[in-house]
Each structure stands twice: as structure tokens, then as C-alpha cells.
Amino acid sequence: MSYSNSSMGSGSRTGRRTFEFGRTYVVKPKGKHQATIVWLHGLGDNGSSWSQLLESLPLPNIKWICPTAPTRPVAILGGFPCTAWFDVGELSEDCPDDFEGLDASAAHIANLLSTEPADIKLGIGGFSMGAATALYSATCFAQGKYGNGYPYPVNLRAIVGLSGWLPGARSVRNKIEGSHEAARRAASLPILLSHGLCDEVVPHKHGECSYQALSLAGFRNLSFKTYEGIGHYTVPKEMDEVCNWLNTRLGL
């Protein structure tokens, strides 16, 4: 399996499909570089829009990497092609997860982080489908491997998921409980989940269920924030909480 990246795009090859990732946008730290976070956009978006918001945050010691997902047919859109980290049908426990697509995106993200200096703290965050991919990456880190069995190569220190859900929630507990090392990594990884109570795209209950699944699987360092009156978007108060949480958890 080979993964490559450049500033304009890259491909991740798996057994059946090749995924061509779009452009990656980088926001350089304004102060001393202490942490690097890959931030993942939602369905149909690209890395540019989030890079502009992240650049405005009062987090001068963080470098932000904002990749763009591959363009692919998406089942929930009737097969219409758009940027997506993985294929998704309806959001329900009965809907199968696209682990091939998830593994390819998780590997692309880890590849972006793997070239950072050894003393830099690493994290992943995202919105909606980007949050789902960040949470999937968290489970890969805890297990020490992707769903396809290849080793997970980077040490994560923080995960942020806004208005998202946990792919593979039904099986994550069994995958982590069987390994002392996996349980140790899960217990030590800080994760912030936040969700609007009026979200009609990814209903709030999916955030709650994700929190419960992660907690049952042994992720102990969990925070779940609910925002009343907020739909499927982010607001300044939520981003203020993200900034405070990252400053505390990463010791910035």
C-alpha cells in the first residue's frame, strides 16, 4: 500500500479503489510552533473555507493543515459526485460503513502529520463528515492500526469533532477491549465533541451516541458540549470553547 502527498493533491491506493485527494491548505503558526492539527471539512466542501476561519482563531502556536477530500459518488446524495472523505448512505446503525474509504482518508491524514518535527504535538479535528473521519482516526490510533490491519503511524494528542458521528461505533469497544495497549491509548487521548441541539443534518442524538460508544470503549478523556438553538453549523461561542480546550489539553 502506498500513500503520497503534495501541496496540490495526492492519491491513496487501496485494494480496489484509488482516491485522489484535492488541494491542501496550510495555515502557518504566527508564534512558536508547538502543535499541528489537520482539520477536515464537511461533505461537499474543501480545505480553503476552513483554513480562513482557523487562521482567525487566537491560537498562534498551532499550524493548521486543511486537506481537501477526494471527489466521489456519494450514496446519500443519490450517487452524485462531490468531495467526501468516505461514502455514506443514511445515518443509521444499520447502514454499512465504508471502511475502505475511511482507511484511505485516515492514512492520508496520518501521512500529512508524519512529516512534522518530533517535538510537535499532533491532533485531528473536523466538522460533520470531517468530524466523523477525525473520530475514526482516533479509534485507529487507539488500536494501533487501520481497519485493514496496516499499522497506524502517528501519536495523536487531541481530537475535535464538531457536529459529527462515530463510524463503526458498534464494533469499536470489542476492538479496543482486547488489547491492553489499545485500552491505554484510548484512555489517554483527549477528545472534544460538540453538537447543536437543533441540527437537522446530523441530528444531536448521533453526537450523544458517539460519546456513549467512545466512553464504553474506554476513551476516558472525553468532553461533550451541547449548544441550544444551534443547527448544522458552527458559531463563535463554540469556536471559543474549542480554542480554550486545545490550549488546555495541548499545554499551549
Region 214-233: mean pLDDT is 96
pLDDT at site 91: 74
List 33, 49, 223, 232, catalytic entry: 232
Q: What gap in Å lies between CA 46 and CA 50, rounded to an integer?
A: 8
Question: Residue 93: what pLDDT?
Answer: 65
Radius of gyration of the chain (CA): 17
Domains of the chain by residue range: 22-250
**Residues 6+ away with beta carbon under 8 Å from 90:** 76
33 as an active site residue: the answer is no
pLDDT tens digits, 184-217? 999 999 999 999 999 999 999 999 999 999 999 9
The pLDDT of residue 6: 33
Higher pLDDT residue, 16 or 211? Answer: 211
Query: Which pLDDT tens digit goes with each residue over 143-196?
Result: 999 999 999 999 999 999 999 999 989 889 988 988 999 999 999 999 999 999
Percent of the chain with pLDDT over 70: 92
Report pLDDT for 35.
Answer: 98
For position 12, what pLDDT does the model report? 45
pLDDT at 132 over 60: yes
Q: Which of 103, 199, 206, 210 is catalytic?
A: 199
Residue 68 and residue 47 in contact, taking contact as beta carbons nearer than 8 Å: yes
Hey, which bits of the chain come out as E strands? 10-13, 18-21, 25-27, 35-40, 62-66, 71-74, 80-83, 121-127, 156-162, 191-196, 222-227
Q: Are strands 10-13 and 191-196 parallel, antiparallel or unpaired?
A: unpaired
**pLDDT (0 to 100) of residue 97:** 86
The confidence score (pLDDT) of residue 228 equals 94
For residue 3, pLDDT over 60 is answered with no
> pLDDT band for position 90 (50/70/90)?
confident
pTM listed for this prediction: 0.92
pLDDT at residue 9 is higher than 90: no
Exposure string over 156-194, b if 16+ CB within 10 A, otherwise e: bbbbbbbbbbbbbbeebbebbeeeeebbebbeebbbbbb
For 172, the grid coordinates are 469499536
Mean pLDDT to the nearest integer, 96-104: 91
Q: Tell me the average pLDDT of the chain.
A: 91
Packed helices 129-143 and 180-188: angle between N→C axes, nearest 10 degrees: 140
CATH class of 22-250: alpha beta
135-to-15, 71, 132, 176, 222 alpha-carbon distances in Å: 23, 21, 5, 14, 12
For 10-34, what is the mean pLDDT?
80
**240 assigned to active site:** no
pLDDT of residue 178: 84
| Active-site residue flag, 163 | no
